[in-house]
Chain A
């Protein structure tokens, strides 16, 4: 059974940094693109970033480009999101999701909450 478990969320001051992790199990991790998708409290879904199976291609949403970095460690079956220069607008529940070949997300984690506040 596919499992995605996020961790690393918490409270951080504006301008600070945080690193999220996502542990994957139950599937061949190296066979899939992976994404981060976020959802601000009471708001809709926003795609954040994705990364190719071997980590050689990475793409970002306009709102996080230049501040966030997606990475993966295939040996550890883990996905990461390094978030720098955080602002209140980045406060959200961050989901790790498995990409399919048709640019949708068939499995999601339970999310990791990030709160940016002074």
Chain B
């Protein structure tokens, strides 16, 4: 149950696009279409932004999109807005023993 690998930080200017990566193994990210992304503001609970690699829950702006290639998943935020500044975490189903593994988190800064 090793944590997924995310860059500790990412940044972009308003209006730009930024992509955050999430690297796992063939036993988690690469093996299933069950990758999720969460947004978390300081002192708040995480919020589900993307599920099943690329699906958005109701109410999540279409500026947020997800994808996956091999053992690496990605979250892209297009048309960056100041309100997007937050921590972002990926997660994946780990298969056997029904466990879920998270990434270490990426702090997104809007310059």
Contact = CB atoms under 8 A, between A and B. Distances in A.
Interface residues of B, number: 26
Interface stretch (B10-18, B68-76, B77-85, B93-101): B93-101
B103 interface: yes
Interface residues of A, number: 23
Contacts of B36: 102-105
Interface in B1-51: 1, 3, 32, 34, 36, 38, 45-48, 51
B48 to A, nearest CB: 5
A103 B34 contact: yes
Most chain B beta carbons < 10 A, residue from A35, A57, A103: A103
Q: Which of A37, A44, A109, A110 has the most CB of B within 10 A?
A: A44
Nearest to B40: A45
B46 A105 contact: yes
B64 interface: no
B45 A95 contact: yes
Nearest to B87: A44
Nearest to A109: B45
B90 to A, nearest CB: 10
A35 B100 contact: yes
Contacts of B98: 50, 57, 59
Interface string A67-87: 000000000000000000000
Contacts of A104: 34, 36, 48, 51-52, 91
Given A50-B98, A103-B100, A110 B34 contact: no
